[in-house]
Structure 1
Amino acid sequence: MKNKAKVIVVANTKGGSGKSTLATNIAGYFASCNHSVVLADADPQQSSRMWLSNRPDTVSPIMTWDLQPDLALTARASADTTHLVIDTPAGLSGWRLREVINRADKVVVPILPSLFDIQASNDFLIKLKQLCRELKTDMALVGNRIDARTHSAERLRSFLDTLDLPILSYLRDTQYYLHLAAHGLSMFDITPTKIQKDLDQWQPICQWLHAN
């Protein structure tokens, strides 16, 4: 059963794939559109909650829950919440994965271009694709920390093309994500002068998130 709030799940069984970076920027995007946003951190590392703790009062507010990570996977948003973004832990599988996908409207999977990340993600992506189709949940992929000039970037493109899944964008490897994260900010919280290329890369992601 889907929530009234739109639920976006960011998932990858592989740790260090950029789930928190993607989740915080998705939450930042929805907040910049004046939506009522909750960012639920179900990862024991609590990177998203640390990001929120550094978020200044001068930008669009994003709420969270004071819950243990495992409870954040299943907690329900309040009636006034329009968008719930869930940052999931590495190794998510079994009934927990099924439960969180069942409540999701959309699932976004970030993947790094290293050979190890590609190999580690393959079985998960096949299972997740089957699960999303069974539960009628939209799923899409995002290439993360991509240097288009490298062989690894081309290897990732070739791999993703075999999966028969939407590939929303390839986000470049830039220090702006790290610099903004240290201050609790997303790409959508600052003037676009220096990050227009990055915002352009985010446009297809934002369009997909808004689509029914």
Structure 2
Amino acid sequence: MPVILVANPKGGVGKSTLATNIAGFLAWQGHAVALGDADVQQSSRRWLAQRPPQLPPIRPLDIDDKQVARVPKGVSHVVLDTPAGLHGKRLERLQGLADCILVPLQPSLFDMQACHAFVLRLAELADAQRHRPRLGLLGMRVRQGTLSQQQLQQFRLSLGEALNDRLDWLGELRDTQHYVQLAARGLSLWDISPAQVEKDLQQWQGLCEWLSA
């Protein structure tokens, strides 16, 4: 049963946006998906409560500071949304559960600095625990042709070298209101007509292939 952990120590980088859309993608692939939300804001949990019942189901999964609840019978995939400031024993515990860890990153100096230390810590934990989940990095709210996009590309290349290519670069998601508008209705990109979000679905192609590998 794959466990997908969405994590970044910074707040407001798009973790819940990513987690809910991953859950939506997997549900539309026919998988039995459970979505856990460890963030005190419970954004993913509230999204799930808004999800229309006629759509492919996604089950809630209880998760708190100490443990993840027993996964319901029949669930084939678990997506875990995590809070800002994730560190210490809690990070170790969640990292140990994960089959893959996805780190969303915005193209700003502070975000990249925090991400650099966090990803190196994940690699240290993987070596110490002898458990190496796949590690992916994804640019969020990226504006094409900007200086910040160039800086993001330079950052991900240098970070990849530091990790001896153990980090998968999964592309960039553009800065668009589609995610905000869909989230307010409990929807993912896959819950509406593809023609409405064609550019966004194209940007997800590499990530979807990585999740399905």
- 1:149 matched to 2:151? The reply is no
| CA RMSD of superposed structures (Å) | 1.3
CA drift at 1:196: 1.1
- 1:90 matched to 2:92? The reply is no
| Counterpart residue number, 2:57 | 61
- Structure 1: stretches of 5+ with no match in the other structure: none
Alignment of 1:15-54 (within 5 A): 15-54=11-50
- 1:129 matched to 2:123? The reply is yes
Partner SS state of residue 163, structure 1: helix
| Counterpart residue number, 1:114 | 108
CA drift at 1:70: 2.2
- Structure 2: stretches of 5+ with no match in the other structure: 161-166
| Counterpart residue number, 2:97 | 103
Equivalent-residue separation in structure 2 for 1:68 and 1:22 (angstroms): 18
102-111 or 125-134, which deviates more:
125-134
Equivalent-residue separation in structure 2 for 1:179 and 1:132 (angstroms): 37
- 1:170 matched to 2:166? The reply is no
Please list the CA deviations of residues 20-75 of structure 1 after superposition, one character each: whole Å capped at 9, or x if unmatched: 0000000000001111111000000100011111111121111103x46325x522
Kept in 2, the 8 Å contact 1:44–1:69? The answer is no
How many aligned residue pairs are there? 205
Partner SS state of residue 144, structure 1: strand
Q: Which amino acid aligns with 2:12?
A: G
Equivalent-residue separation in structure 1 for 2:121 and 2:15 (angstroms): 18
Equivalent-residue separation in structure 2 for 1:14 and 1:115 (angstroms): 12
Please list the CA deviations of residues 176-206 of structure 1 after superposition, one character each: whole Å capped at 9, or x if unmatched: 0001000000011111102111111111111
Q: After the TM superposition, which parts of structure 1 deviate over 4 Å for at least 4 consecutive aligned residues?
A: none
Partner SS state of residue 83, structure 2: coil
Kept in 1, the 8 Å contact 2:116–2:159? The answer is no
Equivalent-residue separation in structure 1 for 2:125 and 2:89 (angstroms): 11
1:77 to 56, 71, 74: 71
Please list the CA deviations of residues 105-124 of structure 1 after superposition, one character each: whole Å capped at 9, or x if unmatched: 11000000111211222211
CA drift at 1:141: 0.4
Equivalent-residue separation in structure 2 for 1:132 and 1:19 (angstroms): 21
Equivalent-residue separation in structure 1 for 2:195 and 2:53 (angstroms): 22
Equivalent-residue separation in structure 2 for 1:81 and 1:108 (angstroms): 20
| Counterpart residue number, 2:135 | 139
Partner SS state of residue 70, structure 1: coil
CA drift at 1:150: 1.2
Partner SS state of residue 28, structure 1: helix
Equivalent-residue separation in structure 2 for 1:150 and 1:69 (angstroms): 39
Kept in 2, the 8 Å contact 1:74–1:99? The answer is no
Q: Which amino acid aligns with 1:50?
A: R
Partner SS state of residue 64, structure 1: strand
Equivalent-residue separation in structure 2 for 1:163 and 1:202 (angstroms): 22
Partner SS state of residue 113, structure 2: helix
